[in-house]
Amino acid sequence: MSDIPSKSLSDTFKTLFDFFKHLTTLSSGSILVILALAEKFIRQPVDVTFLFRSMFCFCVAIVTSLVAMGVLAFHAAGDIPSRGARKLLVWGMVMSGIGFIGGMLMLAMAVLRVLS
């Protein structure tokens, strides 16, 4: 009977780990696309601060996702994380989400600025 909550918690951790893995992959791919297409977007001298801000936000998403993945990997066996580990996991979840959404918004702003 005590194995059921542990298995459920372990499955939750694995699902969250996969979520962060996909978020990290999307952020890395976005950085590569920005770098590959930056030359094509910028035909005339324009301000590229939104591109740099976008890359920074994606880097924040990657780093905080990796922190959260580390916490999840440490507790993958279904161990209940300590209070500090839970705070670190929540911090990683919030900051990676903010970083990814911020990166997408900054990328959209850069594209709109170039197209206008």
Tell me if the pTM is above 0.85: no
Instruction: Give the largest Cα separation in the chain, rounded.
Output: 67
The pLDDT tens digits of the residues spanning 45-73 come to: 667 788 889 999 999 999 999 998 888 88
Three-class secondary structure of residue 38 per DSSP: helix
CA distance 47 to 43: 12
Share of the chain above pLDDT 70, in %: 85
Q: Which CATH class is domain 3-115?
A: mainly alpha
Domain ranges of the chain: 3-115
Which segments of 1-116 does DSSP mark as H helices, in order? 3-41, 49-74, 83-115
